[in-house]
């Protein structure tokens, strides 16, 4: 078998530039190949598009917990009339949470229309209005699951039960990466992982090169990037030198075993990555005005702001898909306090992100998506005996924002009913949103397949429809 050259490549520091490995390899595995050849065979090498598209990269801002569409981008005046009005729901297909005695809840927020497009936004979006005309507000998507982990899996992987590849893995598999020194799919989680955990950014059955690499918010950004304290770089180099010698002798005894070379190379990569990763993460050189714009000086916005800034930097470096998580949207009670805080924590950073991308001329090529796993209900149940204005989970209605990357900016697409209970216009399941997301990035869901377990598998599971209205 010819050597599987793809095995050489993975993520951070995967470029072959400056690798002095050929002399470590006893055979002529690499002799007939220039580095460029190897690069072209890398699983992360840039690949041709299926269809022409503007977006080269995607930043997905993921609001874990399920933000309320009714209190953000989909105002429902009808609820003002019905506020606190009671009713009883009995439905075999309703969860215990949504059953029994219910009462309607009006939005505690005022709305204003912003931009030339006149998009409605909750009053706590104080900054986002300035980029309103870059936004496409989509109110027709429907999830299927009303439970967080399954809904997260559905939104992220197309499969409610987890285990399948995440969108970022698919996109990287389909397009490769523009930068061989970085993974194609990077996840910027909060300190705490969302429900469902790392399966939300899994490579599933795709090769592991496409797994989402988390740059952890605290501690070592990549696990085991460095040896335990007390081991100097020189010390480690010496260990690696002995390892290389032992491996060299072993390779001579097993000239037919191709994987040995790949494994040798991986050890050299680790050594280089220890230098490179901290450089990538260092935001010291960003200007004070940038820091201010992203809200890095404010306790409320700095966590999300730092990760939005990091997302911009990574995309600038050629990373294909960046996902930024922020949780706390599961406002069953006291939605006024909870949602106003959450909204303010993301408002400034995400506005800065869109403006920053635009100023750098990157917005056209960068698809920005804002979404949660589902929307919220117009009504609430009693908990602990009291009525506290909040909202339960709602799979039938939600709000998403799309910006940049060839989207139908400055428009509303789709609508929910007068209570915000379910989508009624331009209604599409998540799989259609996935098909559309892929198309915006130049990929055809039906062609982006991977043969596994005897079947060509795809993000939409069994195929889906394009939501043309979202495309500009």
Helix (H) or strand (E) holding 380: strand 379-381
In whole angstroms, what is the distance from residue 318 CA to residue 9 CA?
Answer: 16
| Distance from the Cα of residue 8 to its chain's centroid | 26
Of 209, 201, 164, whose CA–CA distance to 64 is shortest?
Answer: 201
Q: Structure tokens of 333?
A: 């009670």
Residues 6+ apart with CB under 8 A from 6: 41, 42, 43, 207, 209
Residue placing its CB nearer to other proteins in the complex, 106 or 332: 332
We find the least distance from the C-beta atom of residue 25 to other proteins, in angstroms, to be: 12
Residue placing its CB nearer to other proteins in the complex, 56 or 376: 376
Q: Is residue 339 within 8 Å of 67, Cβ to Cβ?
A: yes
Residue placing its CB nearer to other proteins in the complex, 330 or 347: 330
Helix (H) or strand (E) holding 372: strand 366-372
We find the least distance from the C-beta atom of residue 284 to other proteins, in angstroms, to be: 22
Residue placing its CB nearer to other proteins in the complex, 175 or 354: 175
Residue placing its CB nearer to other proteins in the complex, 286 or 444: 444
We find the least distance from the C-beta atom of residue 311 to other proteins, in angstroms, to be: 20
C-alpha distances (whole Å) from 252 to each of 7, 31, 261 are 20, 16, 11
C-alpha distances (whole Å) from 162 to each of 106, 152, 165, 184, 195 are 35, 9, 8, 21, 12
We find the least distance from the C-beta atom of residue 234 to other proteins, in angstroms, to be: 8
We find the least distance from the C-beta atom of residue 76 to other proteins, in angstroms, to be: 21
Question: Bridge partners of 376?
Answer: 393
In whole angstroms, what is the distance from residue 436 CA to residue 430 CA?
Answer: 10
Residue placing its CB nearer to other proteins in the complex, 2 or 287: 2
We find the least distance from the C-beta atom of residue 289 to other proteins, in angstroms, to be: 26
Q: Structure tokens of 291?
A: 């820091």
Helix (H) or strand (E) holding 174: helix 167-175
Of 268, 276, 260, 264, whose CA–CA distance to 236 is shortest?
Answer: 268
Residue placing its CB nearer to other proteins in the complex, 329 or 433: 329
We find the least distance from the C-beta atom of residue 385 to other proteins, in angstroms, to be: 15
Residue placing its CB nearer to other proteins in the complex, 99 or 408: 99
Question: Bridge partners of 375?
Answer: 394
We find the least distance from the C-beta atom of residue 335 to other proteins, in angstroms, to be: 9
In whole angstroms, what is the distance from residue 338 CA to residue 357 CA?
Answer: 29
We find the least distance from the C-beta atom of residue 404 to other proteins, in angstroms, to be: 27
Residue placing its CB nearer to other proteins in the complex, 395 or 401: 395
């Amino acid at each position: 078998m010819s050597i599987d050259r793809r095995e050489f490549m993975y993520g951070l520091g995967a470029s072959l530039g400056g690798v002095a490995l050929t002399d470590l390899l006893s055979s002529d595995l690499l002799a007939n190949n220039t580095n460029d050849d190897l690069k072209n065979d890398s699983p992360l090498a840039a690949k041709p598009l299926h269809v022409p598209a503007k977006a080269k990269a995607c930043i997905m801002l993921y609001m874990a917990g399920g933000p309320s569409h009714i209190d953000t981008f989909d105002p429902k005046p009808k609820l003002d009339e019905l506020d606190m009005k009671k009713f009883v729901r009995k439905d075999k297909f309703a969860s215990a949470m949504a059953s029994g005695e219910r009462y309607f809840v009006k939005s505690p927020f005022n709305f204003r229309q912003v931009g030339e497009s006149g998009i409605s936004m909750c009053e706590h979006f104080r900054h986002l209005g300035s980029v309103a005309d870059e936004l496409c507000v989509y109110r027709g998507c429907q999830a299927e699951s009303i439970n967080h982990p399954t809904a997260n899996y559905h939104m992220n992987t197309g499969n409610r039960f987890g285990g399948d590849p995440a969108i970022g893995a698919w996109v990287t598999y389909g397009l490769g990466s523009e930068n061989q020194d970085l993974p194609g799919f990077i996840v910027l989680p909060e300190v705490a992982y969302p429900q469902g955990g790392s399966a939300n950014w899994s490579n599933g059955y795709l090769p592991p090169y496409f797994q989402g690499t988390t740059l952890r918010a605290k501690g070592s950004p990549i696990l085991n990037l460095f040896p335990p304290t007390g081991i100097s770089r020189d010390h480690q180099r010496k260990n690696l030198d002995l390892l290389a010698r032992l491996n060299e002798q072993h390779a001579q005894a097993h000239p037919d075993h191709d994987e040995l070379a790949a494994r040798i190379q991986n050890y050299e990569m680790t050594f280089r990555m220890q230098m490179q990763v901290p450089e990538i993460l260092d935001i010291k050189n960003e200007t004070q005005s940038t820091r201010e714009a992203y809200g890095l000086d404010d306790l409320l916005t700095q966590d999300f702001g730092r990760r939005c800034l990091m997302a911009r930097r990574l995309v600038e470096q050629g990373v294909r898909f960046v996902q930024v998580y922020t949780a706390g949207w599961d406002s069953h009670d006291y939605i006024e306090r909870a949602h106003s805080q959450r909204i303010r924590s993301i408002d400034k950073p995400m506005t800065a992100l869109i403006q920053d991308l635009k100023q750098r001329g990157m917005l056209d090529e960068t698809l920005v998506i804002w979404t949660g796993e589902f929307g919220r209900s117009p009504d609430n149940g009693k908990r602990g005996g009291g009525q506290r204005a909040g909202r339960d989970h709602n799979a039938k209605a939600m709000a998403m924002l799309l910006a940049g990357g060839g989207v139908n900016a400055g428009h509303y697409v789709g609508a929910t009913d007068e209570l915000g209970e379910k989508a009624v216009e331009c209604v599409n399941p998540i799989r259609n949103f996935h098909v559309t997301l892929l198309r915006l990035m130049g990929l055809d869901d039906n062609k982006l397949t991977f043969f596994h377990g005897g079947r060509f598998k795809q993000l939409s599971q069994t195929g889906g429809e394009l939501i043309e209205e979202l495309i500009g």
